[in-house]
């Protein structure tokens, strides 16, 4: 399991707000189109409507925002961990500058499915690590994802106490969550 901290200089802006909740985001297919094994920021195509609505949710709530993601392209040697770190840092900076969505940390599994590691979604361990690190209650976790693996990850990590929203079933989250 690998974690990547956001090194953006704007991190101080949220330090004065007490945060008690965790908002977990899948990356590929959730905040952007899934371009399969992407390490190239030029192929990052954000889901604008979702991110605009997410910005409002975060603004009116007290969330620590993290990414929870499988990146088997690392294990398959399509790209290195350092290439992925560079890519995801650009994504995090882009979200902060364009949507005021500050992602504090990335919890990533770099293994292939056939490696049978214990950190790969949907084992629950990536999100459990985030819950433990941020010292939040399982019922205060909100996860956005695009497939069943994301929902299973949440259910295993929170003993079915967290909240899951499938971004493929949304027109707009504005009316549902604040």
What six digits make up the tokens of 4?
């990547």
Identify whether 150 is a catalytic site residue: no
- Cβ partners under 8 Å of residue 6, min gap 6: 89, 92, 96, 102, 103, 104, 105
- What DSSP character marks residue 79? S
Identify whether 49 is a catalytic site residue: no
CA pair distance 139, 164, nearest whole angstrom = 11
The active-site residue out of 28, 96, 146, 150 is 28
- Alpha helices in 10-162, H assignment, sequence order: 48-59, 72-75, 81-99, 125-134, 148-158
The active-site residue out of 26, 96, 146, 150 is 26
Q: What are the residue numbers of the active site?
A: 26, 28
């Amino acid at each position: 399991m690998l974690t990547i901290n956001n090194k953006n200089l704007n991190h101080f802006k949220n330090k004065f707000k007490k945060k008690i909740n965790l908002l977990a985001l899948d990356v590929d297919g959730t905040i952007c189109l899934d371009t399969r094994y992407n390490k190239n920021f030029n192929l990052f195509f954000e889901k604008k409507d979702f991110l605009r609505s997410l910005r409002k949710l975060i603004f009116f709530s007290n969330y620590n925002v993290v990414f929870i993601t499988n990146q088997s392209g690392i294990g398959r040697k399509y790209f290195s961990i350092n290439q992925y770190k560079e890519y995801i840092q650009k994504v995090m900076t882009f979200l902060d500058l364009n949507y005021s969505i500050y992602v504090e940390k990335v919890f990533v599994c770099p293994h292939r499915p056939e490696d049978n590691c214990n950190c790969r979604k949907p084992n629950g361990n990536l999100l459990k690590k985030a819950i433990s690190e941020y010292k939040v209650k399982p019922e205060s976790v909100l996860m956005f994802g695009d497939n069943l693996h994301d929902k299973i990850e949440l259910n295993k990590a929170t003993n079915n106490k967290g909240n899951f929203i499938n971004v493929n079933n949304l027109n707009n989250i504005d009316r549902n969550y604040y």
